C-alpha cells in the first residue's frame, strides 16, 4: 500500500484519513491540519519525512504564477524544504492542467458554463490555468485577488493587469508570513463580514476559486449562483445549499465524502509514479492525469438558476 500524508496550515477540524484504490493500487491518504501554526507544520513534516511515499503541503502555496512568471512564497518553500527524503508537493504541479481541463469540460459537457457566464474568480495567482481558461472561453471575469487578499475594492478585469500587479507586488509579498496573506487555522472556520464586497458576488453567475476566499465575504443569499472550487466538506455544501446556490463543482474527486486538495492528488500521483516531481515534469503529470481520468464533480444543490 502507498502512503500519502498531507500536512496543512488549515484547520485541524478538517482532518481525515481515507483509503482509496487508484489504478489498482491501494493508497492511504491522511490529512493533518496544524491550525495555522507554521512551526507545527514544519515539525510534522520532519517527523513524517522518510516514512511515507509522498507529502502534500496544504493550506499554503509554494509558488504563485502569472503569465509564465513564477513567484516564491517563502513560508511555503520552507515547508517544502523541511522534507529532505520524501517528495513534498503543494499541488501546483497538476493544478494548472487539472483546473484548465475542468473549465473546458464544464463548457463542453454541461450547460452551466457558456461564454456569457459572468465569473467572479476570488483569486487567480494561485490558479492561473483556470483564469486563462475562463478568458479563453470568452467569459467576462473579475479577478478578485486584491479584494480578497488585501481588502481593496479593486476588481481586476484583464489577465494583463493581473500579471502587471503580480509582477510589482508578489516578489515582496511572498516574503511575508503566509498567515498575513491567506486565512489559516481558525480563520478558516469563521467568516469575515458577509455584507462586505457583496456587489462583486451579486454581479456574478459563477463564483470560482479558493474556497476559503469564496467564504470570506460570502453573502447570506447567493440564489441562482454556482460555485467552482477545490476542497469542500459536507458542512460547506450544506451551507451553500442553505444560501441558495444551484450547484457546487469541485475540481478534485470526492473520496470518503469529501473532496481532497490538489496537493494530495499531486502527492498521490508522485507516490504512484515512484518518481520525484522534477522527473515527472509537465508531460508526466499530464499523462498521469489522463490515466486517472479525473473530471469535475458536479453536485446539484437544488437551487433555482438565475
Partner 1 sequence: MSEASKERLFEALDLFRAKINENARLQQMNRDWNRDIAVVAKDLPEVQASIEMREGQMDWRPQAAENPHIVLTAPADVLIGIFRGDSTPTEPYLDGSLTLRGSQEDVLRLDFVSLMIWGE
Residues that bind partner 1 (CB under 8 A): 146, 149-154, 165, 167-169, 171-173, 175-176, 180-181
The whole-angstrom distance between residue 61's C-alpha and the CA centroid of its chain comes to 9
State the nearest-atom distance from the C-beta of 42 to partner 1, in Å: 17
- Cell triple for 193: 463580514
Identify the bridge partners of residue 297 per DSSP, sorted by sequence position: 250
Q: Which is nearer to partner 1, 105 or 148 (CB)?
A: 148
Q: Taking the chain, what is the end-to-end CA distance rounded to the nearest angstrom?
A: 47
Length of the chain measured in residues? 306
- Nearest distance in Å: CB 180, partner 1: 6
Of residues 85 and 175, the one with the C-beta less far from partner 1 = 175
**Between 66 and 294, CB nearer to partner 1:** 66
Q: Provide, rounded to whole angstroms, the least separation between the CB of residue 150 and partner 1.
A: 5
| Whole-number Å distance between alpha carbons of 121 and 108 | 20
| CB closer to partner 1 out of 154 and 224 | 154
Helix intervals (H) in the chain? 38-48, 74-82, 92-109, 128-137, 145-150, 159-173, 178-181, 198-202, 211-216, 234-243, 262-273, 277-292
Question: Of 153 and 224, which CB lies nearer to partner 1 in the complex structure?
Answer: 153
Task: Decide whether 46 or 168 has the Cβ nearer to partner 1.
Answer: 168
* Cα–Cα distance measured from residue 42 to residue 182, given in angstroms and rounded to the nearest whole number: 18
CB of 181 to partner 1, least distance (A): 8
Encode 133-145 in three state secondary structure: HHHHHCCCEEECH
Smallest gap, in angstroms, from Cβ of residue 155 to partner 1?
10
What's the closest the beta carbon of residue 213 comes to partner 1, in angstroms? 14
3-state percent helix, strand, coil for the chain, nearest multiple of 5? 40, 20, 35
| DSSP type of residue 151 | -
Nearer to partner 1, 63 or 253 (CB): 63
Q: How many CB atoms lie within 10 A of CB 202?
A: 12
Q: State in angstroms the smallest separation of the CB of 168 from partner 1.
A: 3
How many Å apart are CA 259 and CA 254, to the nearest integer?
Answer: 4
Cβ nearer to partner 1, comparing 23 with 152:
152
Minimum gap (Å) between residue 186 Cβ and partner 1: 14
CA distances from 231 to 195, 250, 305 (A): 24, 7, 23
Which among 18, 19, 26, 20 has a CA at the least distance from the CA of 2?
A: 26
CA distance 306 to 295: 25
Amino acid at each position: 500500500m502507498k502512503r500519502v500524508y498531507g500536512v496543512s496550515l488549515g484547520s485541524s477540524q478538517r482532518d481525515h484519513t481515507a483509503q482509496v484504490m487508484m489504478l489498482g493500487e491501494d493508497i492511504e491518504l491522511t490529512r493533518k491540519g496544524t491550525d495555522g501554526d507554521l512551526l507545527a507544520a514544519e515539525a510534522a513534516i520532519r517527523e513524517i519525512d522518510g516514512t511515507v511515499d509522498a507529502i502534500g503541503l496544504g493550506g499554503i502555496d509554494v509558488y504563485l504564477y502569472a503569465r509564465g512568471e513564477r513567484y516564491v512564497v517563502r513560508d511555503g518553500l520552507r515547508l517544502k524544504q523541511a522534507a529532505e527524503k520524501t517528495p513534498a508537493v503543494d499541488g501546483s504541479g497538476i493544478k494548472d492542467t487539472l483546473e484548465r481541463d475542468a473549465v473546458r469540460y464544464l463548457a463542453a459537457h454541461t450547460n452551466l458554463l457558456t461564454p456569457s457566464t459572468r465569473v467572479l474568480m476570488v483569486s487567480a495567482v494561485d490558479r492561473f490555468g483556470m483564469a486563462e481558461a475562463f478568458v479563453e472561453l470568452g467569459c467576462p471575469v473579475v479577478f478578485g485577488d486584491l479584494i480578497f487578499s488585501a481588502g481593496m475594492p479593486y476588481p481586476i478585469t484583464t489577465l494583463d493587469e493581473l500579471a502587471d500587479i503580480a509582477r510589482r507586488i508578489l516578489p515582496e509579498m511572498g516574503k511575508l508570513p503566509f498567515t498575513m496573506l491567506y486565512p489559516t487555522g481558525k480563520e478558516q472556520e469563521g467568516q469575515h463580514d458577509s455584507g462586505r464586497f457583496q456587489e462583486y458576488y451579486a454581479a456574478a453567475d459563477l463564483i470560482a476559486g479558493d474556497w476559503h476566499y469564496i467564504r470570506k465575504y460570502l453573502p447570506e443569499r447567493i440564489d441562482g449562483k454556482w460555485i467552482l472550487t477545490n476542497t469542500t466538506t459536507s458542512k460547506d455544501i450544506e451551507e451553500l445549499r442553505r444560501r441558495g446556490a444551484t450547484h457546487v463543482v469541485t475540481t478534485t474527486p470526492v473520496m470518503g465524502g469529501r473532496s481532497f486538495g490538489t496537493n494530495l492528488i499531486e502527492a498521490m500521483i508522485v507516490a504512484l509514479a515512484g518518481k520525484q516531481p522534477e522527473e515527472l515534469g509537465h508531460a508526466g503529470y499530464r499523462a498521469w492525469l489522463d490515466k486517472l481520468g479525473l473530471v469535475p464533480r458536479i453536485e446539484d444543490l437544488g437551487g433555482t438558476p438565475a
